[in-house]
């Protein structure tokens, strides 16, 4: 593991598939996994093999057919689950077990009905069982962000002693504030026995809309793996979207400093559309990076700025994320400058200033009636005015 590199662990096919209403078939999962490899993802969590025969088949097929990334399977801390992951990943180029158990008081008491000592013993025994079956092991303390920190460090210490080299800190219920989460990551780095043999991973849910802020704060505090999904799919409000974390790191490399990110950002739009088509989950138009409005400008003031210098209102280029181009949307807030420019792009080069002014007045009246004015509307307006003048 390189110290200054941020590793990306994609869980679109596992946590992402836990999005209510989403159920992917094996060939669709393989198609997405291949898209993730093109994106440059380091680890693909292909599923939860013990969950169903379908999940087992999907993980096994991905392990056999998808090369170029580590393939990972999820397991609860029991031998049957771990064995299923081992069988599903037998043909993987590189395999990772992701084993988890809840560590917060509320989960231990009401869900697991286990004491701290029993949880510690379980972590010890399951890692003993998993030893030698995988290329690497990741351990997660479920609901880690609401876990007593000293107990979490103790559990992580046991996991490291048992052979885990990736310690994941899930903010399972999206409860964290960025500075608070960063403080926890620093504490874990300072108080976990053997932590220098492992890397810290974070897994942020978006219940308060803070998944990206929390992931970035954790990176600043020393986390080196980020778990994410395409389009921010996932349980409830979803997981952090990979596109948001990566573009924040890339766009603000002046702020984050010398961090290596091996992701081909030009693939974002393509992989986002693929996942949206196969899952049926539509990306909201105003979603950062991948929404259809992410590079659209409607107001006249913005359009004028954009036409003079795109950096006035765009902090990254549409090309950098594989989007087609900046979209100057004509609507009632558009200015004469953008309108004139648009006429020219439609082939109307020879109008006098007076004619453009006249058309612009008519365009504004039309824009007041319609939410968005399309090219066909403008062509009709021009043709109508040429013939009826
Ligand atoms: O959110 C969560 O805690 C999880 C774990 C299985 C890592 O998805
Ligand atoms: Zn999760």
HSE-up (13 A, CA, CB side) for residue 233: 29
Q: Is the CB of 238 under 6 A from ligand 1?
A: no
Largest CA distance in the chain: 88
Give the pair of three-digit tokens for residue 377.
């509307």
pLDDT at residue 329, rounded to an integer? 84
**Is residue 188 within a helix (H) or strand (E), and if so which, with residue range?**
helix 178-191
Q: Is the CB of 203 under 6 A from ligand 1?
A: yes
Q: Write the pLDDT tens digit of every residue in 178-194.
A: 999 999 999 999 999 99
Burial zone of 334 (CB within 10 Å; 0-12 exposed, 13-18 middle, 19+ buried): buried
- Is it the case that residue 300 has pLDDT exceeding 90? no
Helix (H, G, I), strand (E, B) or coil at 321: helix
- Is it the case that residue 389 has pLDDT exceeding 60? no
Distance in angstroms (rounded) separating the CA atoms of residues 73 and 55:
10
Q: Which ligand is nearest to the CA of 143?
A: 1
- Is it the case that residue 388 has pLDDT exceeding 60? no
- In percent, the amount of the chain with pLDDT more than 90 equals 85
pLDDT at residue 384, rounded to an integer? 87
Helix (H, G, I), strand (E, B) or coil at 3: coil
Q: Write the pLDDT tens digit of every residue in 86-128.
A: 999 999 999 999 999 999 999 999 999 999 999 999 999 999 9
Distance, CA 142 to ligand 1 centroid (Å)?
Answer: 6
- Closest ligand 1 atom to the C-alpha of 14? 8
Q: Write the pLDDT tens digit of every residue in 48-88.
A: 999 999 999 999 999 999 999 999 999 999 999 999 999 99
Distance, CA 273 to ligand 2 centroid (Å)?
Answer: 22
- Is it the case that residue 386 has pLDDT exceeding 80? no
R_g of the chain computed on alpha carbons: 25
Give the pair of three-digit tokens for residue 235.
């349980």
pLDDT at residue 326, rounded to an integer? 76
pLDDT at residue 307, rounded to an integer? 87
Q: CA of 249: how far to CAs of 212, 215, 245, 262, 360, in Å?
A: 11, 11, 6, 11, 42
Distance in angstroms (rounded) separating the CA atoms of residues 9 and 227:
5
pLDDT at residue 345, rounded to an integer? 87
**pLDDT averaged over every residue in the chain:** 95
Distance in angstroms (rounded) separating the CA atoms of residues 206 and 219:
17
Over range 318-342, report the average pLDDT: 89
pLDDT at residue 313, rounded to an integer? 87
Distance, CA 263 to ligand 2 centroid (Å)?
Answer: 22
Instruction: Quickly state the pLDDT bin for 370 (edges 50, 70, 90).
Output: confident
pLDDT at residue 161, rounded to an integer? 98
Give the β-pairing of 199-204 and 166-171.
Answer: parallel
Distance, CA 308 to ligand 1 centroid (Å)?
Answer: 47
Distance, CA 140 to ligand 1 centroid (Å)?
Answer: 7
- Is it the case that residue 315 has pLDDT exceeding 70? yes
Of 104, 140, 205, the residue with max ligand 1 atoms within 8 A of its CB, to mutate for a pocket test, comes to 140
Give the pair of three-digit tokens for residue 100.
């988890």
Nearest residue (by CA) to ligand 1, atom 1, is: 172
Give the residue with greater pLDDT, 326 vs 23: 23
- Is it the case that residue 2 has pLDDT exceeding 90? no
- ipTM for the assembly: 0.99
Q: Write the pLDDT tens digit of every residue in 130-156.
A: 999 999 999 999 999 999 999 999 999
Instruction: Quickly state the pLDDT bin for 387 (edges 50, 70, 90).
Output: low
HSE-up (13 A, CA, CB side) for residue 179: 0
Of 51, 172, 175, the residue with max ligand 1 atoms within 8 A of its CB, to mutate for a pocket test, comes to 172
- Is it the case that residue 306 has pLDDT exceeding 70? yes
pLDDT at residue 216, rounded to an integer? 98
DSSP state letters, 194-228: TGGGSEEEEEEB-TTS-HHHHHHHHHHTT--EEEE
- Is it the case that residue 202 has pLDDT exceeding 70? yes
**The model's pTM:** 0.91
């Amino acid at each position: 593991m390189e110290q200054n590199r941020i590793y990306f662990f994609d869980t679109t096919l596992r946590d992402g598939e836990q999005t209510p209403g989403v159920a992917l078939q094996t060939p669709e999962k393989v198609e997405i996994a291949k898209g993730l490899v093109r994106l440059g993802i380091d680890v693909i969590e292909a599923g939860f093999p013990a969950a169903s025969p379908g999940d087992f088949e999907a993980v096994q097929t991905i392990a056999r057919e998808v090369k170029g990334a580590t393939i990972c399977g999820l397991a609860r801390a029991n031998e049957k689950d771990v064995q299923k992951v081992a069988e599903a990943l037998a043909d993987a180029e590189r395999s990772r077990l992701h084993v988890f158990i809840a560590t917060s008081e509320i989960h231990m008491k009401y869900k697991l009905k286990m004491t701290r000592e029993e949880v510690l013993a379980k972590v010890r025994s399951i890692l003993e069982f998993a030893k030698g079956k995988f290329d690497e092991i990741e351990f997660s303390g479920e609901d880690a962000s609401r876990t007593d920190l000293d107990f979490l460090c103790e559990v992580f210490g046991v996991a490291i002693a048992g052979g885990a080299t990736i310690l994941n800190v899930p903010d399972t219920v999206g409860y964290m504030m960025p500075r608070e989460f960063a403080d926890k990551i620093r504490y874990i780095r300072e108080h976990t026995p053997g932590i220098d043999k492992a890397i810290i991973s974070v897994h942020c849910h978006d219940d308060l809309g803070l998944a990206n802020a929390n992931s970035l704060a954790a990176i600043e505090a020393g986390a080196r793996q980020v778990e994410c999904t395409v389009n921010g799919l996932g349980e409830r409000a979803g997981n952090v979207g990979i596109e948001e974390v990566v573009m924040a790191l890339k766009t603000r490399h002046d702020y984050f400093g010398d961090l290596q990110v091996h992701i081909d950002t030009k693939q974002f739009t393509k992989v986002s559309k693929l996942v949206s088509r196969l899952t049926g989950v539509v990306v909201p138009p105003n979603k950062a990076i991948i929404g259809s409005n992410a590079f659209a400008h409607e107001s006249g003031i913005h359009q004028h700025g954009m036409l003079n210098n795109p950096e006035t209102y765009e902090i990254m280029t549409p090309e950098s994320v594989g989007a087609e181009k900046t979209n100057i949307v004509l609507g009632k807030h558009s200015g004469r400058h953008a309108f004139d420019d648009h006429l020219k792009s439609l082939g109307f080069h020879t109008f006098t200033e007076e004619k453009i002014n006249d058309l612009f007045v008519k365009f504004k009246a039309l824009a007041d009636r319609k939410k968005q004015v399309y090219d066909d509307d403008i062509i009709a307006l021009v043709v109508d005015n040429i013939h009826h003048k």
